[in-house]
Copies of this chain bind each other. A is one copy, B any other.
Amino acid sequence: MCDELSQSWTWIEGGVGAPQGFQATGVKAEVKYKDKYDIALIYSNVPAQAAGVFTRNQVKAHPLVLTQKFLENGVAQAIVANSGNANACVGEAGDRAAMEMAETAASKLGIKVEDVLVASTGVIGVEMPVERVKKGIEDAAEVIKDGQAEPVWTSLEKSDNAHQAALAIMTTDTAVKEFACELPCQGGVIRLGGIAKGSGMIHPNMGTMLGFITTDAKLSAVQLQELLRQAADQSFNMVTVDGDTSTNDMVLFLANGESGITPAGKEWVQFKEMVNSLCIRLAQEIARDGEGATKFLEVKVTGAKTLGDARKLAKSICGSSLVKTAMYGEDANWGRILAAAGYAEAQFDPSQAAIYIGDCLVARNGQGVHFSEEAAKEVLAQKEIGITLMLKDGEDKATAWGCDLTHEYVTINGDYRT
């Protein structure tokens, strides 16, 4: 609550279109399905400083390789993304398709091809329907050039183009992940917007996670990269067990400086807090929307020796199939929680560990305590379950987010490609 009271910024509407000088839209190009938004285009009126974090998977999708190359100079003006096809593992045709996506957007928008970042999500190993994708990008660019996407967030009833961009990157997601916020500063207002997709996150080895963040703050690419890296470490990277390991994962961050404000001093602290909060909220929504999930899990670790240990422990618990199935079964099986901590490859003293499920103390000093099964049942019956591992090894803490492992997850992933 203290954090809330001292919070200087507010949530607003508008998604990635909220910051000044940004427009975004989505179109239906039939990449894989009929009548689904599947091409997203985000555009800045002026070249923006740009940063990105990417999958650590050694197998990298074609658009990801291109985007990493285009990002080398720290400048971009547009992001084009599609769902319905990952454009991964299809050889030279994939490289060509990614480049053609950038070229099409660049030529229609009248900007440099290397200022267009490209992202894809969907099935691996299937060639892109390039002509339909190009047509879709042309249509999207048309909307933006016509200024139809500006003002970007008229009302929920009217054409909300930025919202369509959020829809266009969804795959098995069941909910749109879109937030925006603004920070009043001495020189005016800085706005921040973000969208994300990602749903195959119960065992997040491959469920592609995409995130696109925009701001009108005036920052250098170096500042932006550092800001994104630290935000990703405590948000997107805390919903994934093995790091960002899909072939396509990426989070891109554009700052076009259109607010004219470079946050400094206290304003920098607040801005950073706002960026972290937006990333955490997007990350939480990804966990909440895990494939087949019926419950949202929040795992907190306190009293850890180092921040690294705290993060490893929280992620290990949150990622354990046996913890996830226990939560699905509403079973206060704390032994699985402690065992998942035990194999996290983090330093801690199990004999000093206490475990809470919700507000029920279930283990102390590394061993079980008598607790009310009634009270535990009540906690476990909720849609959102908190697990806390309290250690006495130091002062560091971390939080990870996830969801339960369900029959529906197996159903979804046992029959995804076909």
Give the B-binding residues of A (Cβ under 8 A): 56-59, 86, 88-91, 94, 123-126, 200, 202-203, 205-206, 242-243, 245-247, 320-322, 325-326, 328-329, 331-336, 338-343, 348, 350, 363, 365-368, 405-407, 409-411, 413-418
CB-CB < 8 A to A89: which residues of B? Answer: 335, 338, 350, 363, 366-368
- Are the CB atoms of A320 and B205 closer together than 8 Å? yes
CB-CB < 8 A to A124: which residues of B? Answer: 335-336, 338-339
Measured CA separation A247–B320 after assembly (Å): 14
Measured CA separation A200–B323 after assembly (Å): 13
Nearest CB in chain B: distance from A290 CB, A: 12
Q: Which of B320, B331, B367 contacts A125 (CB 8 A)?
A: B367
- Are the CB atoms of A416 and B333 closer together than 8 Å? yes
Measured CA separation A367–B60 after assembly (Å): 12
CB-CB < 8 A to A88: which residues of B? Answer: 335
A414 to chain B: closest residue by CB = B329
- Are the CB atoms of B414 and A331 closer together than 8 Å? yes
Measured CA separation A379–B415 after assembly (Å): 17
- Are the CB atoms of B203 and A342 closer together than 8 Å? no
CB-CB < 8 A to A416: which residues of B? Answer: 326, 329, 331, 333
Q: Which of A56, A328, A335, A363 has the most CB of B within 10 A?
A: A335
Q: Which of B90, B206, B415 contacts A339 (CB 8 A)?
A: B206
Measured CA separation A405–B411 after assembly (Å): 10
Q: Which of B94, B326, B328, B366 contacts A417 (CB 8 A)?
A: B326
Measured CA separation A336–B162 after assembly (Å): 32
CB-CB < 8 A to A363: which residues of B? Answer: 89, 125
CB-CB < 8 A to A334: which residues of B? Answer: 125
CB-CB < 8 A to A125: which residues of B? Answer: 334-335, 338, 363, 367-368
Measured CA separation A282–B26 after assembly (Å): 55
- Are the CB atoms of B58 and A342 closer together than 8 Å? yes
Q: Which of B126, B200, B321, B350 contacts A59 (CB 8 A)?
A: B350
Measured CA separation A125–B336 after assembly (Å): 10
- Given the known interface contacts A58-B348, A365-B91, the answer about A205 and B411 at a Cβ–Cβ threshold of 8 Å is no
A59 to chain B: closest residue by CB = B342
- Are the CB atoms of A59 and B331 closer together than 8 Å? no
- Are the CB atoms of A206 and B350 closer together than 8 Å? no
CB-CB < 8 A to A328: which residues of B? Answer: 410, 414
- Given the known interface contacts A331-B417, A418-B329, the answer about A245 and B342 at a Cβ–Cβ threshold of 8 Å is yes
CB-CB < 8 A to A90: which residues of B? Answer: 367-368
A127 to chain B: closest residue by CB = B368
Measured CA separation A45–B94 after assembly (Å): 68
- Given the known interface contacts A89-B368, A91-B365, A328-B410, the answer about A123 and B200 at a Cβ–Cβ threshold of 8 Å is no
Nearest CB in chain B: distance from A390 CB, A: 15
